[in-house]
Amino acid sequence: MTKGYLLKGRIIDGTLNPPVESGAVVIEGERLAWVGPAADLPPMYLDRELDVIDLPGRTLMPGLVDGHTHISFGESRSEEENALYTPVEFRTAKALYYAKKVLQAGVTSAFDAATSYNIAQAVRDAIDTGMFEGPRFTVSGKQLTNHQGLEDSFPNEMQFPPGQSAVLIRSREELIEAIRFQVKDEVDAIKVSGSNDNLITPDSLGSSAFTLEEFQIIAKESHRLGRLCSVHARSRDSALYAAQAGFDNLFHASYIDDEGIEACLKNKCVITPTLTLLVNLMEAKQSESLGASSTDAFRREIEAASANLKKAFEAGVPLIAGSESGWSPVPYGQWHAREMEIFTTHLGLTPLQAIHANTLVATRLLPRYGHEVGKLEAGRLADVLVVPGNPLDDIKILQRPGSFDYIFKGGKPIDRTPPAPRKRKWYERHKIFLNGLYEFDQEAGVGRLVQ
């Protein structure tokens, strides 16, 4: 059995430091023992029984930290599928299956932004206790929502679905109770639905679901109990109120303005834009009938986010890369590195800054173990990618994990054998007769499908 590894190649360490063009990384056990220029490698490591990996033109970098995942969603195509269909037992089995795919994409740590049932906690614990392979997860519980927030998407006369990835809050007293209940269930973070979403309703981007005072109640109680608090906040007001209340992390913040940016800087908030979902929806050319909003709404939000988030970053607000893997436009194991490319094309970050956002910066969402990952540094856990080529020249290299030479998690090369494709059960999908109306054309005398 090997005593460890000696990796040689270009080092991008997860910080904004320039790369070390001829570097060496020593792995002993589950941790990094030494990182630096190969010429400075202490002689004692040459005398040890280390497996040497020295491949021409390779880059050594930290494992990716995906700042926005939903491991329990199972690649659902709609709110109905996510909230109503598939028994919880089968959902959990699917989540464990998908967790390995996420790890095989080079994601060694991840933040789960909302769960169905308590599946995310179960997946986290099953991986942490060595039962299954997957990233180290930091997990939120069900997100707190109200009637104006994302996830209260069904008719008022209908019972709130138990499979929905949210808990419906009806009063300020219930805010405190819900937070304490989730802390008892051992979540790492409290997630709040601060605005609606233009995938669900076309009037979602102007207001806030909760008031500033309610956001303050949530932030105060979450922090009192030692938990992070994050918020789904596409609208201007939700981003502003959450930042003013001192939330740790804002998801999306597409319509944040100067006042919101100032509040982020004052209260040291980070923003996880998660533009990959919107860009993928645009590229998939969704038809008008497949959502509450048209592709024009997605286009407008991307344009607004590109301007507003670039301004926020230039002002000093940290950005974190996240994929929102779990919905059907962002299948597990396939899109975890795309946000870095979008950061460079839409927000003006350099490739080094984008990698920083998908590694060391993202550890701000990992309160239990963030100080041990995200950076190639002696003493940290040995989560290392060995990548062909230089991602500073072509950031898209990181979107091709099948070409990576190695993915180490905790000092061990992970099994790269792809999981066998799974069959989908009939009860995972919502049931429709036809995707549209089959109308009769009187002049032509034939039927036609109208969406």
pLDDT at 19: 97
Residue 205 has pLDDT above 70, yes or no: no
Residue 284 has pLDDT above 50, yes or no: yes
pLDDT at 429: 87
For the record, the structure tokens of 26 come out as: 């020593």
pLDDT at 396: 97
Q: Which residue has the higher pLDDT, 294 or 60?
A: 60
**Among the listed ranges 189-203, 219-233, 277-291, 353-367, which one has the minimum average pLDDT value?**
277-291
Residue 202 has pLDDT above 70, yes or no: no
Query: Which numeric CATH code is attached to 1-62+374-424?
Result: 2.30.40.10
pLDDT at 151: 82
**Among the listed ranges 44-48, 126-130, 285-289, which one has the minimum average pLDDT value?**
285-289
Residue 201 — very low, low, confident or very high, per pLDDT cuts 50/70/90? low
Nearest to 133 by CA among 425, 408, 421, 428: 408
Residue 411 has pLDDT above 80, yes or no: yes
Most confidently modeled of 290-294, 313-317, 432-436?
Answer: 313-317
Percentage of the chain surpassing pLDDT 90?
79
Measured CA distances, 239 to 47, 362, 368 (Å): 55, 19, 26
Measured CA distances, 435 to 290, 293, 448 (Å): 9, 17, 12
pLDDT in tens, 214-264: 999 999 999 999 999 999 999 999 999 999 999 999 999 999 999 999 999
Strands (E), 264-405: 270-272, 384-388
pLDDT at 288: 46
**Which amino acid appears at position 366 of this protein?**
L
pLDDT at 152: 81
pLDDT in tens, 338-356: 999 999 999 999 999 999 9
pLDDT in tens, 70-102: 999 999 988 888 889 999 999 999 999 999 999
User: According to CATH, where is 2.30.40.10 located in the chain?
Assistant: 1-62+374-424
pLDDT at 293: 55
**Among the listed ranges 192-201, 357-366, 395-404, which one has the minimum average pLDDT value?**
192-201
pLDDT at 184: 97
Q: Which residues pair with 384 in a beta bridge?
A: 62, 408
Residue 55 has pLDDT above 70, yes or no: yes
pLDDT in tens, 1-14: 568 999 999 999 99
Summary count for the chain: helices (H), strands (E): 11, 18
**Among the listed ranges 195-199, 201-205, 327-331, 379-383, which one has the minimum average pLDDT value?**
201-205
How far apart are alpha carbons 370 and 62 in whole angstroms?
Answer: 13
Q: Given the DSSP bridges, would you call strands 107-112 and 64-69 parallel, antiparallel or unpaired?
A: parallel
Residue 158 — very low, low, confident or very high, per pLDDT cuts 50/70/90? confident
pLDDT at 294: 64
With beta carbons less than 8 A apart as the criterion, state whether 267 and 260 touch. no
Residue 206 has pLDDT above 60, yes or no: yes
Residues whose CB falls within 8 Å of the CB of residue 399, separated by 6 or more in sequence, listed in order: 335, 337, 338, 341
User: According to CATH, where is 3.20.20.140 located in the chain?
Assistant: 64-370
Averaged pLDDT of the chain: 93
With beta carbons less than 8 A apart as the criterion, state whether 340 and 398 touch. yes
Superfamily of domain 64-370: Metal-dependent hydrolases (3.20.20.140)
pLDDT at 199: 63
pLDDT at 436: 84
With beta carbons less than 8 A apart as the criterion, state whether 122 and 150 touch. no
pLDDT at 207: 84
How far apart are alpha carbons 355 and 357 in whole angstroms?
Answer: 5
Q: Which long-range contacts (CB under 8 A, 24 or more apart) does 411-418 make?
A: 411/4, 411/5, 411/27, 411/28, 411/29, 411/30, 411/31, 411/381, 411/382, 412/30, 414/103, 414/104, 414/133, 415/133, 416/104, 418/101, 418/104
